[in-house]
Structure 1
């Protein structure tokens, strides 16, 4: 990975796609392990264990979502409508899977919104289509497990 200071508060980050894929997979595997350790570390204090477990889970979700947003930038400028649709469907499936394990919905909805903004910026030809697909995915996630926007 490389970092370059661009000035005016901006930095450019360079990362290999393969390294990013491995890191995402690693964090997904590490999250439940660390949550279990936090639970054990709290001993009989189940209330505090639940709080700490949720907090560490939220931090992992944020990191994973940020990495997924970065990952989506690798191919955003070369995508077709079909590939864009598949990308948002995959993000929606991933969000629902993580929500089933207790992840925060709002983090995923914000992540999809940011991803769409980045994709639209790199692929202005499909900006409206990307926005519509993102909106659809966000609405589906919001409705998942009985919550409405």
Structure 2
């Protein structure tokens, strides 16, 4: 019998998953047979989980990988090799994309400061309007000033 496929951690996730597909073919088992073999070994591997895992190019969870490897008939040393390769792949890639910068959120004092500045601006505006209105004369007052010559 040929030896089982071995993982190549430096090749990336897609290559790792391609090797897992080769491993399934090497085992010669159907998805239902893999489920039964995992159960017999004390592992849980629903056939639908195995099928979904092999359709994707993303790494499976470690527990699912171990159950799959055991169901395929790999020994402890081969299983350790696959798990180590998966861990290397997960450590090499950033776990999450960098978050987009968020606008600052004003809390507490800055909010109060904005409220005070807004109120002061409103008061200043109204005071300016009032001063302008106080300094103007109506048409009748202007006519009276012109006629009498006194304000």
**Fold in common (TM above 0.5):** no
Normalised to the residue count of structure 1, the TM-score between the two structures is 0.25
Which structure has greater helix proportion? Answer: 1
Higher alpha-carbon Rg: 2
Q: Which structure is higher in RCO with an 8 Å CA cutoff and minimum separation 6?
A: 2
Which structure has greater strand proportion? Answer: 1
